[in-house]
Chains A and B, each alone.
Chain A
Amino acid sequence: MSFGAEIRKDFVLDSKTIFVNHASCGALPLNVYNHRLGLVQKMESSPDVWFRLKSESMWKESIDTVAEFLGSKPSNLVFVKSTTVGINAVLRSLKLGRGDSILISSWSYFAVKDTCHELERQQGIEILYVDIPYPLKSKEQLLELYETMLQKHSSICLVLLDVITSVPPVLLPVKQLIAICRKYGKLVLVDGAHVPGHVEANLEDLGADFFTGNMYKWAYAPRDCAVLWIHEKFHGAIMPPVTGYSFYGEGEMWRNYLYQGHGDFTPFYSVGRAIDFYRGIGGREGILDYCSSLVTKAADLLVTRLRTFHYPLPEDMQTPLMRQVALPKLKKYPPVIVPPGEVKRKIHNMMTLMEDILNRFGIMCACVSVDNRAWIRLCASVYNEISDYEKLADAIATLVEEDEEIEV
């Protein structure tokens, strides 16, 4: 399989820009894009037939396909538009209230934090945080932090765990964390936004109560395609955020998620084509073989050129396809200084810097401020090559020169 510039042509991505941020928004293959548009055409040429006669079978067929891909029983899986929607569905359905607590962490995704605080406002639920130290020394240190929180707060009803966090990008020991939660009898909701296509998924063996993850990131589906896995014992209890046509108690769970009022659900029905593409280019093995070594090389290259360092993480907690590298201190782009103990707003996007790098150098990369420092969060995808990161290093070096001062 020819990766890099060769396969780049098979993506819709604009050829004038270098993209090293697959993690945020994904990237769509032309093949899957055209397939999706074909479905839109079908829908528009005969909407009643599409919605009344075809939708259910397309849904079921697509669920079967993606269930097999994720090691899930089809009956436990529904489509949702994104992980954020999946998380909202679960948290809003659980009827938690005053006296109940939810445990998240300082590394939880910002939309997850916001959802939790909205529920705090609406329902009086207490939001507790595992405050992850900088630097994190080991897996064991993390497990201990969770054990301590769970021991200390018996009010915790549910723990929201990441498999792979977004910023910083970290592979968490999720099975061991779930075991600890089980020990204390807590419900577990797994934020697996980055899981499909990136790490192996076997949802029936995970041991969680709920899991939600995006198909449009590393599994090449169109945007607005994600899944929510619900343990059988909760099938009657977890309703989508929008109550639509069907209603629980009157039929199978999946109908509640299909009938969400009228809209365009072709991204769900394109998931089979996305999985075909994924497998066609080598599947997880082939993709990781290329991308994992590329992202490692890329991170090392930047660290060397910029004379900075890798985000300090235990080796066994590095994700396969993402890395975080320190940026040199730039007076023009200062990081956000967060007071100690502040967990809610620890992580920030550095929008001005990202915009300047895009506009001046034609490179799209994620620049973030976390732990009081500026970083680049790198991704390697099948359309990247090492020259992309060389150009990025050149761009940063130019900014540094212009900034006058360098510190290591």
Chain B
Amino acid sequence: MAVFGRALMKKEFMLDSSKTFLNQGSYGNAPRRVIECRTGYIRMMEESPDDYFRWKNEDFWLSMVQTVAEFIGSDPQNVVFVQNTTTGINAVIRSLNFEKGDGILINSWTYGNVKNICAYAADTRHVDLYYVDIPFPLKSVDQILTAYEEKLSKHQNIKLAIVDYISSMPPALMPVKEMIALCRKYDTLVLIDGAHTPGQLPLHLDQLGADFYAGNLHKWAFAPRGSAVLWIRPEFHHTIFPVVTSYYDKEVVYKNFFYQGTGDNSTYYSTAEALKFYQEIGGYDKISEYCSKLALDAANLLVKKWKTSLYPMPDNMLPPFMRLIRMPDHKWFPTFKTSADDRKNFCRDNMSLMKTVWERFQIQSVFISIHGQSWCRISASVYNEIQDYEKLADAILTLLDEEK
């Protein structure tokens, strides 16, 4: 079993080992051997493109789908590859037959891209958009479930609910099973945004009870950027088409997603190598044990050093490998007045702080404002160790000191 922490970073990852990376959650990081595996496919493609596209491509696809389907607890026939969760969600929404007056339900923690997709659907297909404003602070899971029940019972025209499995901002483990049950009660289709889940949670998609699921392999499952899965319940196999039509088969769903012109599917074909790495370093049990503890210890450290607090949410909603910590009160970490239902200003990147912390301290982390308050989102991955977060704590304290 591999040793976790900086030794693993140096041995296996392409990240610059003289710097500190606390943001596996945003872009993912694939180990060198996985990138090399991918390069091998690109090389094969370039050495003999016709051979690759006409005769090898489909076999690679089918073999990889088999491997990945097992990892996510699904029958291979229900799974196709897409570039990322955003693309998968676009495919579902653009394929479903919405009529004027049909509703889509999202909430304030729904990912930015997904909010945009829904807004576009509302604008172009005359869908009604419904929104649950998640209270701040959030005291219990029941507050979310009550708000959902209220919306679903009041608006029987809601055709689809998009539910995060683990939301991005704030990072939270949502009560997904209960939310699916509610949607079933009101005959609403459920699309799970599982961007953060492969590798962070064990998945059993065939038993989850959703209609659609999209999740990234390139975040926590160490695949190269540009590999994600779309899971489609069997009754929808002939309904869901990719956003770009290239091949057009009305019978076999994967063929439409697989054949996207002479595009580069090498990221998908490297997923087996990524999952092999994942198992080799300990698999879900060992990785979870290490990263969960690290996330907990890191959060405690930062809260103590900055004399602040965690984003207020129930303990049973804390995601395994991420935390959101309040920044100290200071002009570096701006706050502004807003209300819980101010949707436009809900979440904003603090780019200048991210840039400063990177340039001055060589630390990559996410600084953001939510509800007008300033926060830092940390990720704990297999190449991180507690010293990384000590560096982050000290960097911020240095900035505070300088401004006195």
Are the CB atoms of B90 and A82 closer together than 8 Å? no
Complex Cα spacing A17 to B51, Å: 10
Are the CB atoms of B226 and A263 closer together than 8 Å? yes
Cβ of A260 within 8 Å of any chain B Cβ, yes or no, is yes
Are the CB atoms of A14 and B264 closer together than 8 Å? no
Complex Cα spacing A79 to B234, Å: 35
24 contacts between A and B (CB under 8 A): A13-B47, A25-B53, A40-B39, A44-B30, A45-B15, A47-B27, A48-B23, A48-B364, A51-B27, A84-B244, A84-B245, A88-B245, A92-B94, A114-B248, A115-B246, A223-B264, A243-B86, A244-B113, A245-B112, A246-B116, A262-B225, A263-B83, A267-B264, A364-B51
Provide the A242-280 mask, 1 if CB < 8 A to any CB of B, else 0: 111111000000000001111110010000000000000
Within residues 220 to 248 of chain A, which ones have a CB less than 8 A from any CB in chain B?
Answer: 222-224, 239, 241-247
Complex Cα spacing A373 to B30, Å: 49
Provided the pairs A358-B50, A364-B51 are in contact, do residues A25 and B262 lie with their beta carbons within 8 angstroms? Answer: yes
Complex Cα spacing A354 to B50, Å: 10
Smallest CB gap from A25: residue in B: B49
Provided the pairs A17-B48, A49-B358, A261-B83 are in contact, do residues A84 and B225 lie with their beta carbons within 8 angstroms? Answer: no
Provide the B133-171 mask, 1 if CB < 8 A to any CB of A, else 0: 000000000000000000000000000000000000000
Are the CB atoms of B245 and A115 closer together than 8 Å? yes
Residue of A21, A27, A33, A263 with highest tally of chain B CB at under 10 A: A263
Provide the B27-68 mask, 1 if CB < 8 A to any CB of A, else 0: 111100001000100110111111101110000000000000
Complex Cα spacing A358 to B216, Å: 37
Complex Cα spacing A395 to B359, Å: 61
* Shortest distance between the CB of B14 and any CB in chain A (Å): 4
A40, A95, A118: the one contacting B35 at CB < 8 Å is A40
Residues of B within 8 A of A242 (CB): 83, 86-87, 90, 243
* Shortest distance between the CB of A216 and any CB in chain B (Å): 8
Other 20 A-B pairs with CB < 8 A, given A48-B23, A262-B27: A24-B262, A40-B39, A41-B14, A44-B30, A47-B225, A53-B355, A82-B263, A84-B245, A84-B246, A114-B246, A115-B245, A224-B264, A243-B120, A244-B116, A245-B116, A259-B113, A260-B86, A351-B54, A354-B54, A358-B51
Smallest CB gap from A51: residue in B: B27
Cβ of A132 within 8 Å of any chain B Cβ, yes or no, is no
Are the CB atoms of A14 and B48 closer together than 8 Å? yes
Provided the pairs A24-B49, A25-B53 are in contact, do residues A84 and B261 lie with their beta carbons within 8 angstroms? Answer: yes
* Shortest distance between the CB of A214 and any CB in chain B (Å): 9
Complex Cα spacing A286 to B260, Å: 33
Cβ of A52 within 8 Å of any chain B Cβ, yes or no, is yes
Residues of A in contact with B (beta carbons under 8 Å apart): 12-14, 17, 19, 21, 24-28, 33, 37, 40-41, 43-49, 51-53, 81-85, 88, 92, 95, 111, 114-115, 117-118, 216, 222-224, 239, 241-247, 259-264, 267, 349, 351, 354-355, 358, 364, 366
Residue of B50, B53, B260, B267 with highest tally of chain A CB at under 10 A: B50
Residue of A40, A52, A239, A358 with highest tally of chain B CB at under 10 A: A52
Are the CB atoms of A52 and B351 closer together than 8 Å? yes
Complex Cα spacing A67 to B273, Å: 38
* Shortest distance between the CB of A310 and any CB in chain B (Å): 23
Are the CB atoms of A243 and B263 closer together than 8 Å? no
Complex Cα spacing A114 to B87, Å: 20
Are the CB atoms of A261 and B86 closer together than 8 Å? yes
Are the CB atoms of B245 and A223 closer together than 8 Å? no
Cβ of B241 within 8 Å of any chain A Cβ, yes or no, is yes
* Shortest distance between the CB of B111 and any CB in chain A (Å): 10
Are the CB atoms of A263 and B84 closer together than 8 Å? yes
Count of residues in B whose CB is under 8 Å from the partner chain = 62
Complex Cα spacing A14 to B44, Å: 9
Provided the pairs A111-B261, A261-B83 are in contact, do residues A46 and B364 lie with their beta carbons within 8 angstroms? Answer: yes
Complex Cα spacing A397 to B241, Å: 44
Complex Cα spacing A25 to B364, Å: 38
Are the CB atoms of B267 and A27 closer together than 8 Å? no
Complex Cα spacing A21 to B351, Å: 47
Complex Cα spacing A4 to B28, Å: 43
Complex Cα spacing A85 to B248, Å: 14
Smallest CB gap from B246: residue in A: A111
Are the CB atoms of B55 and A355 closer together than 8 Å? yes
Cβ of B354 within 8 Å of any chain A Cβ, yes or no, is yes
Are the CB atoms of A46 and B19 closer together than 8 Å? yes
Are the CB atoms of A118 and B248 closer together than 8 Å? yes
Are the CB atoms of B48 and A47 closer together than 8 Å? no
Residues of A within 8 A of B198 (CB): none
Are the CB atoms of A95 and B48 closer together than 8 Å? no
* Shortest distance between the CB of B48 and any CB in chain A (Å): 5
Complex Cα spacing A115 to B19, Å: 47
* Shortest distance between the CB of B158 and any CB in chain A (Å): 20
* Shortest distance between the CB of A58 and any CB in chain B (Å): 15
Complex Cα spacing A88 to B247, Å: 12
Cβ of B398 within 8 Å of any chain A Cβ, yes or no, is no
Are the CB atoms of A223 and B262 closer together than 8 Å? yes
Are the CB atoms of B50 and A224 closer together than 8 Å? no
A33, A46, A243, A245: the one contacting B16 at CB < 8 Å is A46
A223, A239, A241: the one contacting B263 at CB < 8 Å is A223
Complex Cα spacing A317 to B388, Å: 65
* Shortest distance between the CB of B375 and any CB in chain A (Å): 17
Complex Cα spacing A266 to B60, Å: 23
Residues of B within 8 A of A354 (CB): 50, 54
Are the CB atoms of B247 and A114 closer together than 8 Å? yes
Complex Cα spacing A49 to B19, Å: 12
* Shortest distance between the CB of A33 and any CB in chain B (Å): 6
Residue of A24, A83, A88, A111 with highest tally of chain B CB at under 10 A: A111
Residues of A within 8 A of B245 (CB): 84, 88, 111, 114-115, 118
Are the CB atoms of B86 and A244 closer together than 8 Å? yes
Which 4 residue pairs spanning A and B have beta carbons closest together? A261-B86, A25-B49, A114-B248, A261-B84
B84, B247, B351: the one contacting A111 at CB < 8 Å is B247
Residues of A within 8 A of B113 (CB): 243-245, 259, 261
Are the CB atoms of B116 and A243 closer together than 8 Å? yes
Within residues 220 to 255 of chain B, which ones have a CB less than 8 A from any CB in chain A?
Answer: 224-226, 241, 243-248
B26, B49, B83: the one contacting A26 at CB < 8 Å is B49
